[in-house]
């Protein structure tokens, strides 16, 4: 006992208080570590939700809406009462070099529309020219690149000459990619113009424009792809797709 007291006097620091201080530090480190683990788990779950689960939910909604559109087309062809509502979609976009899925196209580019796993045509600040009108102009579209269906996720895989096909009840509109802008300001509305001069075109024509966020997992800039109408095909009784989609 005397030896212990003597050691404490020599060091000038009682052993008891030192152990209590060390215990507090260890406890604080332990709590901080647990908080970091919890924060990591929450962040991980958020990433899973944003990049995977929102895709699942959006794809389900888009599939249901797409089925409604096709059902209404079939009903109309049979001479039944038309239950078609443009809010259910105006047609389907097929871009084989970007995705193997068909993409339902609806009116508007708000988050409420695009979050349902569809592509939306612009109504503001520039109004898109629908190909079904027959008038020259720019059929400008937007879709998410990540989360909520991520329909334009692989837009960067498109190259000049690749087909973009828009399917309606009666016709196939076949476009060919001719211009790509990998990065531009999200405020650059000129890319949506009736004559998209930034694409190199100077005369009125039948154009299509695909826009989405870039870089991947951000929304800082916009990625733009332009196409020009190559031809229009009538939909036959078997709904045979154009050769660009059939692989023939």
Active site residues: 213
Burial of 33 (0-12, 13-18, 19+ CB in 10 A): exposed
C-alpha to C-alpha distance for 38 and 179, rounded to whole angstroms: 47
Q: Taking CA 65 as the corner, what is the angle to CA 61 and CA 67, rounded to the nearest 5 degrees?
A: 120
C-alpha to C-alpha distance for 147 and 153, rounded to whole angstroms: 9
Strands (E), 135-193: 137-142, 163-167, 171-185
C-alpha to C-alpha distance for 70 and 200, rounded to whole angstroms: 37
Q: Which residues contact 127 (CB under 8 A, 6 or more apart)?
A: none
Round the CA-based radius of gyration of the chain to a whole number and report it. Answer: 29
Q: 62: helix, coil or strand? A: helix
C-alpha to C-alpha distance for 60 and 14, rounded to whole angstroms: 68
């Amino acid at each position: 006992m005397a030896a212990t007291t003597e050691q404490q006097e020599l060091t000038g620091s009682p052993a008891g208080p030192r152990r209590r201080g060390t215990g507090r530090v260890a406890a604080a480190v332990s709590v901080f570590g647990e908080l970091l683990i919890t924060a990591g788990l929450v962040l991980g779950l958020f990433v899973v939700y944003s990049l995977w689960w929102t895709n699942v939910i959006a794809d389900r909604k888009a599939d249901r809406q797409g089925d409604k559109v096709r059902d209404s087309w079939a009903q109309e062809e049979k001479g039944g009462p038309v239950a078609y509502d443009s809010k259910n979609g105006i047609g389907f976009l097929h871009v084989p070099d970007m995705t193997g899925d068909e993409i339902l196209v609806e009116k508007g580019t708000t988050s409420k529309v695009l979050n349902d796993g569809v592509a939306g045509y612009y109504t503001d600040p520039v109004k898109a020219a629908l190909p079904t009108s027959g008038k020259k102009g720019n059929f400008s579209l937007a879709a998410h690149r990540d989360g909520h269906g991520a329909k334009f996720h692989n837009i960067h895989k498109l190259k000049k000459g690749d087909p973009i096909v828009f399917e309606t009840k009666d016709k196939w509109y076949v476009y060919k990619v001719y211009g790509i802008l990998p990065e531009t300001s999200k405020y650059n509305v000129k890319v949506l113009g009736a004559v998209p001069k930034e694409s190199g075109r100077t005369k009125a024509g039948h154009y299509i424009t695909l826009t989405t966020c870039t870089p991947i997992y951000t929304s800082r800039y916009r990625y733009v792809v332009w196409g020009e109408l190559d031809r229009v095909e009538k939909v036959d009784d078997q709904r045979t797709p154009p050769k660009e989609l059939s692989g023939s």
